[in-house]
Each structure stands twice: as C-alpha cells, then as structure tokens.
Amino acid sequence: MWSETIGYRDCREPYLPDFFRGVAEAIPLTGTEDLLDLGCGVGEVALGFAPFVASLTGMDLEQPMLDALGKRAEAMGVHIRLIHSSVEEAPADMGRFHLITMGRAHWFMHTPTSLIRLDQWLTSGGAILVCFPTKHPDNAEWYRVYSATRDKWVRGNLREMTRLTADQFFEGTDFVLAERVIVQGEKRLELEHLVRRALGTANSSRAVLSVTETDEMSEAIRSAMTPYFRNGPITERHLTLGSIYRRRKVHRNEICPCGSGKKFKHCHGRYADEYLR
C-alpha cells in the first residue's frame, strides 16, 4: 500500500534538516553509532541521520520501498544495509544498535513481539527515537480547506490506527521518555505540491482510489486551493517532533514493568545488559 506513494512523498510534510542535528546533539551522537530505522520507507529518517552515525540499517515490509531507498542512498554516496521484513519476523540476533528510529510507522508495530525485538536490538545505554512531522502547526485556513477537500476521498481506517501516541506505544514497558526535540521551519509551497501530497498519503493514494477517483480528487484540490495561490507559491510552516526513549533503571529483582509478573532479570532484563552485571 505504501509503495504506491513513491514518487509523491517529497511533497508531504517534511522532516526538517535541522531536526536530525537537534536529535544528534540531544542524545548525543558521536558518529560511531549503529542506527536501525524501522519501517524505513524510502529513507527520509535514515538518510537524514547519515552524517551523524557510523552505519545505517533500514527495515521495511515492502520491497519497492527498499529498492527506492537503495537508489537514493547510492546517489548520496551512503551505504545502508537493507532488510526486507516485518519487525516481528526479523531475526532476534540481527545485531545490536545504539539508536533505533521509527518515523510515521510506529503505529503499525505495536505488538508484544515488536517490543521484545526493540529490547533485543537496543544496546546498553541506547535510545529509541519516534519522530514525525506534525500537521500544519498554525492551522492556517488554506490547510483546513485542503484537508477537508482531500477527506472526501479518504479510504480505510488509517486515521484510527494513527491515533496511538509514542507514549502509549511504550506504556507498560521499561522504556520511558527521556527528552523531546522540536524543530520548526518553513518552505515555499506550490499548488501542485498539494495534489502530489494527497497522492503521497496512503489513504488517498492510487492504491486505494480508482483512476477516476484520483482524477476527481486532484481536480477538486486544484479548484479549492486556487484562490490561495493567485499570487504564486505560499509559505508553509512546518514542525518536526521527536521523542527519545531510554530504558528505565530497574533493579534486577524488581517485577518487570511490562506487566508479565516475572522478575525483571527473568523477563525484559535479559536484554538490558547494564542491569545484569
């Protein structure tokens, strides 16, 4: 489904370049770390961190996404290891990583197995970053009109799935919020970018709409948005939010915070090396 957004994703709300530097300073990253990006798509997050880490690994369930990421990385002169798998089906011994990132895909990974995999893959003292560009931060009128127009063609239950917050994702685990990074910026936006943005969003992409519906939606967006672009491109404000999670310090004989009822040393503590010394 998400592969149908390839070619249009550059017009979605962006990850601001300064965001990656902000996270690198907050963690902090030294350039020696190994990064794993889950649900990597075409690499908006992974490649953004390329200047700040030693190695990149990207995992995605859709091979076309990995193919597109591979081409982007090659064009940038960046080496990235690509893994075609879901989080649940990936091998537990795939490696250990200092930073695990999840972009807009964390909503699809909220399973007990995924949480165990995070524990297994994260190194001692490592961090997990959940990040995504927010909706238009100043709730401008043109954005409300665009959203209302696109909504007429939205399909599926994506909105219900994406209500899960990062804090809810880690609820009941030994991962706690350590810090949030917020970066704001702006860029020039052309009307046609909004048509491409709609097609770059999974619940209004070509994967869920017929050819006729795609044409109707595109023309409806152009018609509704033309008044806002009479004087040419407009300025769009952006905000990228990142939440950094680390393991909570738990004594090995405490009950594991995941709710299993087992002692930490016999449960998630098996993967938290720093607690078992």
pLDDT of residue 257: 57
Q: Which residues are bridge partners to 213 per DSSP?
A: none
Q: Does the pLDDT of residue 275 top 50, yes or no? A: no
The rounded distance, in Å, linking the Cα atoms of 234 and 141 is 12
Q: Where are the beta strands (DSSP E) in the chain?
A: 34-38, 55-60, 81-84, 97-102, 122-133, 175-189, 234-247
Provide the 10 A C-beta neighbour count for residue 160: 9
Distance CA(159)–CA(85), nearest Å, equals 24
The CA-based diameter of the chain, rounded to the nearest angstrom, is 67
- Assign 277 a pLDDT band (cuts: 50, 70, 90): very low
Three-state secondary-structure class, residue 110: coil
Looking at residue 134, its pLDDT comes to: 81
Encoding tokens for residue 147?
């959203």
Q: What is the pLDDT of residue 106?
A: 79
Q: Reply yes or no on whether the pLDDT at 5 is more than 60.
A: yes
Do residues 101 and 71 make contact, with C-beta atoms less than 8 angstroms apart? no
Distances (CA, A) of 224 to 12, 119, 188, 204, 206: 18, 48, 19, 17, 20
> In the structure, what pLDDT confidence band is assigned to residue 137 with cuts at 50, 70 and 90?
low
State the Cα angle at 263 between 259 and 265, rounded to 5°: 120
Q: What's the pLDDT tens digit per position in 257-274?
A: 555 778 777 775 654 443
- Give the pTM: 0.85
Strands 122-133, 81-84: pairing is unpaired
- As given in the structure block, the two tokens for residue 29 are 């990253």
Among the ranges 69-78, 171-180, 241-250, which has the highest mean pLDDT value? Answer: 69-78
pLDDT digits (tens, 9 = 90+) for 42-74: 999 999 999 999 999 999 999 999 999 999 999
Q: What residues contact 54, with CB distance under 8 A and at least 6 apart?
A: 31, 32, 33, 34
Query: Between the ranges 169-178, 189-198, 262-271, where is the mean pLDDT highest?
Result: 189-198
Residue 276: the pLDDT is: 33
**Domains in the chain, ordered, with CATH?**
2-137+164-187+239-271 (3.40.50.150)
Supply 277's token pair: 């010394």
Express each pLDDT in 79-135 by its tens digit.
999 999 999 999 888 999 999 999 877 777 888 899 999 999 999 999 999 998 887
